[in-house]
């Protein structure tokens, strides 16, 4: 079974600065997908960014980028130019390629607080 | 607008009672999922359904039941056999098949409290 670990329960960052969230996962699969989801105080889950394991290029979405290290099974999220609206729980998630059910396995989450 | 609707937003249940959480989507998605979220923790999969009239247990299915009689609907029943039902419940959907690897769309959740 796949496991996803987020080792930082909480992080704080000053507005306009950069913060990096770590995520490691354990799998024997070669093809899979990785995701970062954001859960603001409203508790609505929002997809932030997605990475395909067979693509070496790191995914980027505006101020959000990832550092995907396949050999190390590491998938960190960098938030640049942090904004107050980035305050949220962030979850790393894993999905096997072409697996029955396409189930997402989530890490325990990192709470990010952006300070003015 | 297309999306997933979960109702009610807050639900209170007495011990020993069954309760059903509603999840409806108008995204024409084939696959639907139920997750449980406890305070300060990640999401754990309860049940999932890839197609109408078919569903499978997730990692923590004990004490829960589901049905999938319509594509749009995937209700979750929390039975009296669930020993610790107080939690936040999230419903999600995805297109299905290989397209599901683009991720899920989530509802806004139901907060269940046992009193």
CB contacts of B100 in chain A (<8 Å) are 95, 102
Contact A98 B88 (CB under 8 A): no
Enumerate residues 6+ apart whose C-beta is below 8 A from A31: A53, A54, A96, A97, A98
Q: Which of A101, A108, A112 has the most B C-beta neighbours within 10 Å, making it the best mutation to test the interface with B?
A: A101
DSSP letter string over chain B?
---EEEE-SEEEE-TT--EEEEEEE-S--SEEEEEEE-TT--EEEEEEEEETTEEEE-TT-TTEEE--SBTTB--EEE-TT-S---EEEEEEEE--GGGGGG--EE---EEEEE-
Facing B106 at nearest CB: one of A45, A52, A102? A45
Residues of B in contact with A109 (CB under 8 A): 40-42
* 116 residues of chain A, pLDDT tens digit each: 789 999 999 999 999 999 999 999 999 988 899 999 999 999 999 999 999 999 889 999 999 999 999 999 999 999 999 999 999 999 999 998 777 678 999 999 999 999 99
Q: According to the model, what pLDDT value does residue A112 have?
A: 98
Question: Does the beta carbon of B88 lie under 8 angstroms from any beta carbon of chain A?
Answer: yes
For position A67, what pLDDT does the model report? 97
- The distance of A14 to chain B (nearest Cα, Å) reads 23
Residues of A in contact with B97 (CB under 8 A): 102
A29 touches A97 (CB < 8 A)? yes
Phi/psi at B8 (nearest 5 deg)?
-75, 175
Identify the DSSP state of A85: G
CB contact under 8 A, A103 and B58: yes
Q: How many angstroms away from the CA of A33 is the closest CA of chain B?
A: 7
At residue A101, the pLDDT reads 73
φ/ψ of B69, rounded to 5, equals -85, -25
pLDDT for B1: 65
If you measure CA to CA, which chain B residue comes closest to A91? B42
Query: Which pLDDT score is estimated for A49?
Result: 96
Please tell me the predicted confidence (pLDDT) of residue B54: 94
Tokens of A47: 């997809």
Residues of chain B found within 8 Å of residue A106, distances taken between Cβ atoms: 35, 42-44
According to DSSP, the residues that pair with A93 across neighbouring strands are A35, A106
CA distance B100 to chain A (A): 6
Residue contact B33–A47, C-beta within 8 A: no
**pLDDT block averages, 10 residues each, chain B of length 115:** 89 92 96 93 93 95 97 96 94 83 91 93
Judging contacts by C-beta atoms under 8 Å, the chain B residues touching residue A104 are 33, 43, 45, 92, 103-104
């Amino acid at each position: 079974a796949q496991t996803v670990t987020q080792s930082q329960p909480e992080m704080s960052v000053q507005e306009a600065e950069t913060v990096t969230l770590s995520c490691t996962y354990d799998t024997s699969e070669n093809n899979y997908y990785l995701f970062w989801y954001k859960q603001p105080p409203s508790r609505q889950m929002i997809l932030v960014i997605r990475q395909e394991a067979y693509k070496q290029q790191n995914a980027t979405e505006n101020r959000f980028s990832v550092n995907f290290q396949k050999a190390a099974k590491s998938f960190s999220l960098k938030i640049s130019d942090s904004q107050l609206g980035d305050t949220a729980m962030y979850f790393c998630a894993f999905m096997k390629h072409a697996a029955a059910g396409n189930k997402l396995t989530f890490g325990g989450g990192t709470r990010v607080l952006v300070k003015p | 607008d297309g999306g997933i609707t979960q109702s009610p937003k807050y639900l209170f249940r007495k011990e020993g009672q069954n309760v059903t959480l509603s999840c409806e989507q108008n995204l024409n998605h084939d696959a639907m999922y139920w997750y449980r979220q406890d305070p300060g923790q990640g999401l754990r999969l309860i049940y999932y359904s890839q197609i109408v009239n078919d569903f499978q247990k997730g990692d923590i299915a004990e004490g829960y039941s589901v049905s999938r009689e319509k594509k749009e609907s995937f209700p979750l029943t929390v039975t009296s056999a669930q020993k610790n039902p107080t939690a936040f419940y999230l419903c999600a959907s995805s297109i299905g098949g290989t397209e599901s690897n683009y991720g899920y769309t989530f509802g806004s959740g139901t907060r269940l409290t046992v009193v």
